[in-house]
Amino acid sequence: MDANGHFGNSSYLDLASDARMSFFAEHGVSFRDLQGLAIGPVIRKDELEYFREVGLHETVTITCAALGLSRDGARFTIENEMWLANGERSAVVRSSGGWLDLRARKLVLPPPELMAVMQRMPRAEGFVELPSRRSA
């Protein structure tokens, strides 16, 4: 909570990150799986848009959808919408990034099992195909 008695801005980013990782785990690629593959998501840019404040002990529902994805899966933009219990939209977090090889410390293509999860992610309104890693 911040000095105004509602979620601080970093709380929204933390929830969005948790929602992304939960989506992968629920679809067969857990945090441990990513550790075993020595790969992880790396976020290049986050954008937050606020609509309604979230107060202490309020329940929020968070959606996870692809707003952009490259054909090779190397780049993505994921949109997380946060909804209050009364149905009002609280915030939207849009995170753009790619997949980092944790050993080589460089961007890589996702392995097939991760690509399959990315392809199953619901598409957000306004979804666009991003440039592939080799064509950017």
Residue by residue, pLDDT tens for the chain (136 residues) are: 777 777 888 999 999 999 999 999 999 999 999 999 999 999 999 999 999 999 888 999 999 999 999 999 999 999 999 999 999 999 999 999 999 999 999 999 999 999 999 999 999 999 999 998 764 4
User: Which pLDDT score is estimated for 136?
Assistant: 41
User: Which pLDDT score is estimated for 133?
Assistant: 73
Phi, psi (5° rounding) for residue 92? -130, 130
Tell me, yes or no, whether 3 lies in a domain. Answer: no
CATH number for position 89: 3.10.129.10
Q: Which domain holds residue 102?
A: 9-130
Residue 106: CB atoms within 10 A of its CB come to: 10
User: Which pLDDT score is estimated for 3?
Assistant: 79
User: Which pLDDT score is estimated for 135?
Assistant: 47
* Number of domains making up the chain: 1
Amino acid in position 49: E
Tell me, yes or no, whether 108 lies in a domain. Answer: yes
Longest dimension (CA), the chain: 46
Positive/negative CA dihedral, 130, 104, 100, 31: positive
Tell me, yes or no, whether 28 lies in a domain. Answer: yes
Tell me, yes or no, whether 136 lies in a domain. Answer: no
C-alpha distances in Å from residue 107, one per residue of 5, 16, 31, 49: 39, 21, 18, 27
Tell me, yes or no, whether 37 lies in a domain. Answer: yes
Tell me, yes or no, whether 4 lies in a domain. Answer: no
User: Which pLDDT score is estimated for 102?
Assistant: 96
Tell me, yes or no, whether 2 lies in a domain. Answer: no
66 in Cβ contact with 126 (< 8 Å) = no
Burial class (CB in 10 A: 0-12, 13-18, 19+), 82: buried
